[in-house]
Structure 1
Amino acid sequence: MSGSASISGLSSGLDTASIIEQLMQLEAVPQTRLKSRLTTEKSVLTTLQALNTKVAALATSAADLLKPAAWNAVTATSSETKVAVSAASTAGPGSFSVRVDRTALSHRLEMASAVGASTAGTVPATVRLDRLDGTPAVDLATDGTLNGLARAINDPANATGLRATAVKVGPDQYRLVVESAATGAAGDFTLTDAADGSDLLGGATVRAGRDAQVTIGDSIVATSSSNTFADLVPGVTVTLAGGTASGTTSQVVLARDPAATTAAVKALVTAVNSILSDIDTQSRTGSGTRGPLAGDTGIRSVRDQLLNSVFPGDGTSLSDLGIQTDRSGRLVLDEATLRKAYDTDPTALQARLTAPGTGFVDRVRAAAATASDRVNGTLTTAITGRTATIDRLDDGVEAWDLRLELRRNALTRQYTALETALNQMSSQSSWLAGQLSSLTTSGS
């Protein structure tokens, strides 16, 4: 802001404030141009950053598709609904039968005596829990009631690994059921009076915990503490529904999943085309609005490298795999042709698409990685250059702010001085006129 007072047109009758403002607009033309360029550079930087993000994501996707697990997708099916099966990427094709010998059960005690839930003295003040797995026994403090014992067993702070439930069997008569939270033979336990080791509440009916067991084929037996058999075969997990009858048999089939492979390749082609489209839009020239990246040879080189990834570089073509280019410079995927190649020889298809240096997927990864490398990528370098330019322009705009402020102050002082001088001259003119008038009057 101006540090001098301005008397606009007091003596001259001129609107000096408007004159100064118009002069300042002329003085600010260079800064306005700088600001306009700064806006353009920021727009270009935003465009480059968005493009770099997509290219980096493409590099990651292509790298993931190069991993063997990406080509080993299988679907797992079970002929029996009570025998569920799932397959991880490490699973391979195959089939086997699963016969359920038994499902897993938790260890359970059903106390014999029915007592009042809050009747004091029905339960010892201290109850000993022995898990029978070699770990030290735990003494649980109660208030002498059935409810108190149930609370002590269920208290998370005691970490008993058990669940206790009071079941009503008559008017204010309850029997206690205590069950291990986990299934399996290793979950067995006892509850006794800590003072003398005697039974609680008239003793208990015991249902022993047990492991689940299945037979693979005719003679291979597998057990699990739960109804889930993880990695029963590499990458395959089988889960039994609770209560599945012994002898239930399921045929499990693991088949390659061509749809998953086709979808993965299609997703990569779509991602490449999306980037090519973005580059074309941002680089457009000719009539109409020019794209912010028009004329940028670095960006064009990124486009060329991505498009050329479809050419193995050994004189062959991927058209027999359904991958080629069209007249508009985009990739085209014929899913039926790709599926046929997969069905014919999935291993050969994988090799041609992922071979180092010549495989389509590897070439896409290399092109995308070269463009988006964090240190010296083509797009990274462009972003760094634009950022430096923006910093310089910001400094230039700030310098012009100071320069224009000084110029405004100078103009304000200049016009204020002009008004002051004119005012003094006007005062002197009035004084002289008065003196002359008095002389005329005196002479007459």
Structure 2
Amino acid sequence: MATSSISGLASGLDTATIIEQLMQLEAAPQTRLKSKVTSEQSLVTTLQTLNTKVALLGSKAEALAKPSAWTPLTATSSNTAVSVTAGASAGPATLSVTVTGVARSHQLGFAQAHALTDQVTGASTSVRLDRFDGSPVDLATDGTLSGLARAINDPANATGLAASLVKVADGSYQLLVESVATGAAQDFTLTGSDGAALLGGATVRAGSDASINLGAGIVVTSTTNTFTDVLPGVTLTLGAAATTGTTSSVALTRDTSKLATSVKDLVDTVNSLLADIDAQTSYDTATKKSGALAGDSTARSLRSALLNAVYPSDGTSLASLGIQVSRTGTLTFDQSAFTQAYAADPAGVAERFSTAGDGFAARVATVAKGASNSTTGTLTAAITGRRTGIERLQDGIEAWDTRLELRRTTLQRQFTALETALGQMSSQSSWLAGQISSLPSSSS
């Protein structure tokens, strides 16, 4: 219930201002709570930013820790008509490729031209498709040229063929049918249901397999223009420009520079994160201010764990691979030393970085994931704890709102009562003065 106040009508005091000043004193604890919420929210933002950077580091380290990341190959072909791709299982190799055949579909071009509505299937409206698999199929049509094409193309008939009607003159079309797949095994015939020639017979372009000669008497064939796993993980593809006699030199070489760049990127990301932690946990003697995370054990523990990831459990050093800890507590990377070490022992270096040997990248990934995991991460737990604390503080602030409102009401009632009492006293004083002045004066 609201309580009105009479500001200084009797006392001459500015009671409204007095109440506001008293309320400011009463609200001091709430003000401190609000300030605490602001600082805690800022701290949560700082932790979230740090957590995002740690998660990014974890993703990079996890990618570099995969054994497949340590077989980087550059695949090149001297002729664009022959393309090459290398998978994870591929290794360094060179191939001399000569195309001895390209894959083609089996194709029939029928001789007679007709209007689309002409009856072309003879006495019966069905036609016979023979794929030479011992089970010819009779296709039902409406007997017209367009109906014949529709029956061949109908997915429900599953012919494996594509029929096209080629316009050779106004109102006149010839039928072209070809296998959807390529290869010598795609041959077929299309006749009347009685085996008679259809549409005056057809000119045949036989389907063929693709073949390449790799030299030394090795010939590889494929029903398509793609040769999968010619070598483990190596795929060759003949493009549209490839013809019989096309040659190409194919090379798969280790891309050491790309790998060195990936390692440097990981080291740089670690150093960037260490710099962020230092900035947030340090004390600036010039400004006399501490970082947002000064004294935060989670951030400091993370920094130590990242540096300790340089050292494997057997206590050996990565200095021979170009990675060392500097005097300032950051990492240094000697790309030349790394390149030399990898060239001398690719498998050994890979093991010292990847999950195969609990390597450096794998250890960094473990540390990063341990801090940034969305449910069990130490940074995640710190953020959750801070948020819970903020919720409690906000509950306290709301409780103070109610307490302060009651206090304001009490003060307004007290000052109103004071003004009322003073007003009554003033009235009584005036009445008494009037009574006294009305008394008769006596003479001596």
Normalising by structure 2, what TM-score?
0.84
Could you tell me how far apart the structure 1 residues matched to 2:96 and 2:257 are? 25
Partner of 1:275 in structure 2?
A: 273
Q: Is the 8 A contact 1:104 1:210 kept in 2?
A: yes
Partner of 1:393 in structure 2?
A: 393
Q: Is the 8 A contact 2:120 2:145 kept in 1?
A: yes
Secondary structure at the counterpart of residue 22 of structure 1: helix
Could you tell me how far apart the structure 1 residues matched to 2:347 and 2:303 are? 30
Equivalent position to 2:256, from 240, 255, 258: 258
Secondary structure at the counterpart of residue 107 of structure 1: strand
Deviations 1:62-119 (A, max 9, x none): 23323221111112222333211110121112223333221111222222222234x4
Q: In the superposition, relative to structure 1, how do residues 122 and 137 fare at CA in structure 2: closer, same or farther (>3 Å)? A: closer
Matches within 5 A, 1:318-333: 318-333=318-333
Q: Is the 8 A contact 1:66 1:361 kept in 2?
A: yes
Q: Is the 8 A contact 1:90 1:234 kept in 2?
A: yes
**Amino acid paired to 2:2:** G
Q: In the superposition, relative to structure 1, how do residues 435 and 304 fare at CA in structure 2: closer, same or farther (>3 Å)? A: same
Partner of 2:414 in structure 1?
A: 414
Deviations 1:277-299 (A, max 9, x none): 21112122123242210122331
Q: CA deviation at 1:200?
A: 4.3
Could you tell me how far apart the structure 2 residues matched to 1:429 and 1:121 are? 128
Q: In the superposition, relative to structure 1, how do residues 418 and 247 fare at CA in structure 2: closer, same or farther (>3 Å)? A: same
Deviations 1:5-61 (A, max 9, x none): 344445545443333333222221111111111111122122222222322332343
Q: Is the 8 A contact 2:351 2:357 kept in 1?
A: no
Q: In the superposition, relative to structure 1, how do residues 250 and 356 fare at CA in structure 2: closer, same or farther (>3 Å)? A: closer
Q: Is the 8 A contact 2:92 2:254 kept in 1?
A: yes
Q: In the superposition, relative to structure 1, how do residues 165 and 330 fare at CA in structure 2: closer, same or farther (>3 Å)? A: same
Q: In the superposition, relative to structure 1, how do residues 412 and 139 fare at CA in structure 2: closer, same or farther (>3 Å)? A: farther
Q: Is the 8 A contact 2:325 2:332 kept in 1?
A: yes
Q: In the superposition, relative to structure 1, how do residues 352 and 428 fare at CA in structure 2: closer, same or farther (>3 Å)? A: same
Q: Is the 8 A contact 1:103 1:243 kept in 2?
A: no
Deviations 1:251-279 (A, max 9, x none): 32222221222122112112211211211
- The answer to which of 232-241 and 124-133 deviates more is 124-133
Secondary structure at the counterpart of residue 368 of structure 2: helix
**Mapped pair 1:44 → 2:43:** yes
- Percentage of pairs with the same residue: 56
Could you tell me how far apart the structure 2 residues matched to 1:403 and 1:159 are? 81
Could you tell me how far apart the structure 2 residues matched to 1:59 and 1:221 are? 46
Secondary structure at the counterpart of residue 231 of structure 1: strand
Q: In the superposition, relative to structure 1, how do residues 18 and 164 fare at CA in structure 2: closer, same or farther (>3 Å)? A: farther
Partner of 2:85 in structure 1?
A: 86
Q: CA deviation at 1:210?
A: 2.6
Q: In the superposition, relative to structure 1, how do residues 169 and 284 fare at CA in structure 2: closer, same or farther (>3 Å)? A: same
Q: CA deviation at 1:249?
A: 3.3
Equivalent position to 1:213, from 211, 214, 221: 211
Partner of 1:68 in structure 2?
A: 67
Q: In the superposition, relative to structure 1, how do residues 434 and 156 fare at CA in structure 2: closer, same or farther (>3 Å)? A: farther
Equivalences, count:
436
> Which ranges of structure 1 fall in alignment gaps of 5 or more residues?
none
Q: In the superposition, relative to structure 1, how do residues 295 and 121 fare at CA in structure 2: closer, same or farther (>3 Å)? A: same
Could you tell me how far apart the structure 2 residues matched to 1:420 and 1:197 are? 122
Could you tell me how far apart the structure 2 residues matched to 1:30 and 1:135 are? 93
Q: In the superposition, relative to structure 1, how do residues 292 and 134 fare at CA in structure 2: closer, same or farther (>3 Å)? A: farther
Deviations 1:233-253 (A, max 9, x none): 211110011352223333322
Deviations 1:128-172 (A, max 9, x none): 574736889484655x65455555655677766544433222233
Secondary structure at the counterpart of residue 182 of structure 1: strand
**Amino acid paired to 1:83:** V
Deviations 1:387-441 (A, max 9, x none): 332222122222212212222222233333334444555566677777788x689
Aligned CA-pair RMSD: 3.5
> Which ranges of structure 2 fall in alignment gaps of 5 or more residues?
none
Could you tell me how far apart the structure 2 residues matched to 1:178 and 1:354 are? 54
Partner of 1:248 in structure 2?
A: 246
Q: Is the 8 A contact 2:162 2:178 kept in 1?
A: yes
Matches within 5 A, 1:100-139: 100-117=99-116, 119-122=117-120, 130=129, 132=131, 137=137, 139=139
Q: Is the 8 A contact 1:103 1:242 kept in 2?
A: no
Could you tell me how far apart the structure 1 residues matched to 2:135 and 2:292 are? 72
Q: Is the 8 A contact 1:60 1:365 kept in 2?
A: yes
Q: In the superposition, relative to structure 1, how do residues 225 and 129 fare at CA in structure 2: closer, same or farther (>3 Å)? A: farther
**Amino acid paired to 1:64:** A
Normalising by structure 1, what TM-score?
0.84
Q: Is the 8 A contact 1:314 1:358 kept in 2?
A: no
Q: Is the 8 A contact 2:114 2:172 kept in 1?
A: yes
Q: In the superposition, relative to structure 1, how do residues 164 and 9 fare at CA in structure 2: closer, same or farther (>3 Å)? A: farther
Q: Is the 8 A contact 2:72 2:255 kept in 1?
A: yes
